[in-house]
Homo-oligomer: A and B are copies of this chain.
């Protein structure tokens, strides 16, 4: 029986329709497309790759570095160009766009060593902090596309930081929803969600002293997983070293489960943190990392309605991913 579920934060509806697929195991054939771009001549590879050579000062460690995106979606120049008159709203897309790259061409997120992933997460923290100081930047969003099916067009492993002069609509909805919930309940809705998940236990996959990972009740995607800090915090970028270590630990635990149980699917992940302005540090917004495996296609219904149909129930996805980490 399909279920209509509501995202308690944004109010968005999803349909959980597991009958449309059979079992979680049916997605095991979903292995992402293999890499095709050679290390030899890769612009992102040290010591001589063209992209690597444009690295931003002070960002390089043994394992990672940051560069400006060569084809930015958001640009830093401050001259605003409007076009289109009184009916069409168009502006120069102000902000910044960086590539946060691993050094090792052959490294892959699911197989990373903890210290390498630590450096990558720490680079996220540093670059968000620095970009948020730029007054034209309203929001900094870290994302990662893994596999061509998930939008990765460059094989060299890298994340991206999109810094925009507008707060993205998805974030605005989360902030409005969590603010409203706080007003009515004097509690952060994400802290409540964690409490409820711990009570029910049916969607939890993994947990350590700082973090909890579970499949989301109103997931848009099969096997969609959220990782949240257990203690309230609205900003990812205020994370401490010891917490990064625990984030690395739980993130790799999830990666190994996806790799072993779902045969390395393509996926996206992104970090939702508070907007740049310090006034957004709050008792109601709670940062989180969302992982969206791309084992089913986004079709016309999703694009035309805004309602996602998820063909694996979050409960059976969690039960499947809780299995002993094989391999």
Give A contacts to B, CB under 8 Å.
Answer: 1-6, 8, 11-13, 15-17, 19-20, 71-75, 81, 83-84, 87-94, 141, 143-145, 148-153, 160, 162, 164-166, 168-171, 173, 192-193, 196, 217, 220, 268-270, 272, 290, 292, 297-301, 303-307, 309
Contacts and interface: CB of A to CB of B under 8 A. Distances in A.
Nearest to A292: B303
B162 A3 contact: no
B88 A196 contact: yes
B270 A71 contact: no
Contact of A72 (B2, B89, B173): B2
Given A4-B93, A89-B8, A90-B6, A300 B292 contact: yes
B309 A73 contact: yes
A193 B173 CA distance: 27
A189 B304 CA distance: 19
A166 B13 contact: yes
A141 to B, nearest CB: 6
Nearest to A86: B196
Given A17-B72, A298-B298, A305 B171 contact: yes
Contacts of A272: 304
Contact of A196 (B87, B297, B304): B87
A94 to B, nearest CB: 7
Contacts of A290: 304
A305 B71 contact: no
Contact of A4 (B20, B94, B196, B298): B94
A297 B151 CA distance: 5
Nearest to A298: B298
Nearest to A302: B151
Given A300-B150, A301-B143, A19 B306 contact: no
Given A2-B73, A15-B93, A88-B196, A304 B81 contact: no
19 contacts: A2-B92, A3-B93, A5-B89, A12-B169, A15-B74, A17-B71, A73-B309, A87-B192, A145-B300, A152-B299, A166-B307, A168-B304, A168-B306, A168-B307, A171-B305, A268-B299, A270-B305, A292-B300, A292-B303
B2 A217 contact: no
A8 B75 CA distance: 23
A165 to B, nearest CB: 7
B88 A270 contact: no
A276 B3 CA distance: 21
A124 B52 CA distance: 54
